[in-house]
Amino acid sequence: MFNVKKIVCLGLLVSLGSGSGAMLAQEKTDSQQFSHKVSLTASAGAASSSQNDQVAELAQQGSEALAAGQFAAAEAAFLALSKLQPGVAEIYANLGAIYFQEGKFDDAVEVLKKALKLKPALTKLKTLLAISLEELGRTAEAVPGLEAGFRSATEADVRRQCGLELLRAYTALHRDADAVTVGLALNKAFPDDGEVLYETGKIYGNFAYIAMERLRDKAPNSVWMLQAAAEAQESEQKFDDAIASFEGVLRLEPRRPGVHYRMARVYLAKYEGAHEPKDRDLAEGEFRAELELDPSNGNAAYELAQIHYDEGNLEMARGEFEALVERRPAFEQAQVGLAGVLIESQKPELAVPHLKRATELKPEDEVAWYRLGRALRVTGDADGAKRAMVEFQRLHGLESGRKARAGILAEAGAVTPQQIGPEQQ
């Protein structure tokens, strides 16, 4: 079973220079072409007939062994060929691939360099050479070839492997910003690749850690350091510590936007854990304080409307949601929240347009589809209700763990998501 790097090696060698033959995984006719090529080279060098026969036989044996993955036999054949035909670049190319497969990276580097010296046109060999150098820990030497391969490789596997090798190389050289740049390009090119996601996640985490370390060293008493500490404490559910840190930020900058909002979210998180009414009251106060500083903060307005909805104050919640939707019609969660209020207020016909808009804005929102199905059923659109509920069931079955509502999200831009509560079913 070949690993990924071996597959990359295959991909590189299959597409080496024209007419070279004897490349990995090619048909018998290709190996015959290669045998013919080295035989012609022997003839051009005035070699004896018996030597020509020996060259052709070794080429055939090496090609077939290489294609079959019999690397020891292939190595022996191509090594003998390199002695009989020291001027044929393709012999060294294949020998370099064999050494690579066998983990003999020092030998691979040596013969790959010979191949490129004899025939610089075999540019794709530079990628295999760069990966071999990286395997040997010769990172600085490897980087130019890896960069060239990542930029110009047309084979997806080759570009992917060059990118992954570059991540490791840049990290080793402390070129963290370059590693992040390559990581972003890899994520764009291979968005569903498990290894890419894993490796780039480590890169981003490392970069974030380094940035936070520099923040601690360069500005230990700044609002930025206090806010970073507060957000870290919030993510660790150390809610009292997070509130204290946010309060520290406000002592330094009382009118700093967004801080009251984050404090309010922490209070909501505390409320969801202990259900102490005072925590929700404190959250409401902080949301209001945020709106006094920044009346355009739609997230704070949304959270206030949601608190009133949860408390059963439907008229106040409706007014707040309607004002928010009027200002920000693309605020999908606000559309769903307003629709929920209208359904509970026995006005499902008014909820339908908001829910249709919500499903256009965010087709994967299962709550929007559920409420749409419910509203359509009450208004007499049985077919529409059925279609909406089918879509809800489909979405509800997808990654239910991921979709499970854990309550308060930690991200600064997040809002409390709408939920399908028991009173709505």
In a domain, 200, yes or no: no
Q: Which domain holds residue 78?
A: 4-136
* Ranges 89-98, 300-309, 415-424, most confident: 300-309
In a domain, 247, yes or no: no
Number of domains in the chain: 2
In a domain, 25, yes or no: yes
Name the residue with higher pLDDT: 397 or 26: 397
pLDDT at 239: 95
SS3 readout for 110-156: HHHHHHHHHCCCCCCHHHHHHHHHHHCCCHHHHHHHHHHHHHHCCCH
pLDDT at 332: 96
- Quote the tokens at residue 5: 């790097």
- Residue range 152-158: mean pLDDT, rounded: 88
CATH assignment at residue 395 = 1.25.40.10
In a domain, 256, yes or no: no
Q: What is the mean pLDDT of the chain?
A: 84
Q: Is residue 389 within 8 Å of 371, Cβ to Cβ?
A: no
Q: Is residue 257 within 8 Å of 251, Cβ to Cβ?
A: no
pLDDT at 16: 36
pLDDT at 48: 60
Asked if the model's pLDDT at residue 45 lies above 80, the reply is no
The residue out of 136, 165, 185 marking a domain boundary is 136
- Quote the tokens at residue 329: 């019609």
C-alpha span between 414 and 367 (Å, rounded): 17
Contacts for 212 with CB less than 8 Å, ≥ 6 apart: 228
Q: What is this structure's pTM?
A: 0.61
pLDDT at 216: 86
Q: Is residue 77 within 8 Å of 108, Cβ to Cβ?
A: no
Q: Is residue 79 within 8 Å of 104, Cβ to Cβ?
A: no
Asked if the model's pLDDT at residue 28 lies above 90, the reply is no
Asked if the model's pLDDT at residue 408 lies above 80, the reply is no
Q: Where does the pLDDT of residue 46 fall: very low under 50, low under 70, confident under 90, or very high at 90 and above?
A: very low
pLDDT at 399: 53
Q: Under the phi-then-psi rule, with left for phi > 0, alpha for psi from -120 to 50, and beta for the rest, what region is 137?
A: left
pLDDT at 14: 38
Residue length, the chain? 425
pLDDT at 207: 86
Asked if the model's pLDDT at residue 41 lies above 90, the reply is no
Whole-number percent of the chain with pLDDT over 70: 84
Name the residue with higher pLDDT: 25 or 291: 291
The residue out of 113, 136, 159 marking a domain boundary is 136
What Rg, from alpha-carbon coordinates, does the chain have? Answer: 32
- Residue range 193-221: mean pLDDT, rounded: 89
Q: Where does the pLDDT of residue 68 fall: very low under 50, low under 70, confident under 90, or very high at 90 and above?
A: confident
Name the residue with higher pLDDT: 51 or 400: 51
pLDDT at 122: 87
304-320 pLDDT, tens digit each: 999 999 999 999 999 99
- Residue range 318-324: mean pLDDT, rounded: 97
Q: Is residue 228 within 8 Å of 215, Cβ to Cβ?
A: yes
DSSP string, 157-173: HHHHHHHHHHHHHHHHT
Alpha helices in 15-88 (DSSP H): 28-44, 49-67, 71-84
235-279 pLDDT, tens digit each: 899 999 999 999 999 999 999 999 999 999 999 999 999 999 999
The residue out of 136, 170, 205 marking a domain boundary is 136
- Residue range 77-87: mean pLDDT, rounded: 89
Q: Where does the pLDDT of residue 67 fall: very low under 50, low under 70, confident under 90, or very high at 90 and above?
A: confident
Whole-number percent of the chain with pLDDT over 90: 61
pLDDT at 184: 95
Asked if the model's pLDDT at residue 17 lies above 70, the reply is no
In a domain, 356, yes or no: yes
In a domain, 12, yes or no: yes
In a domain, 87, yes or no: yes
- Residue range 141-158: mean pLDDT, rounded: 92
In a domain, 177, yes or no: no
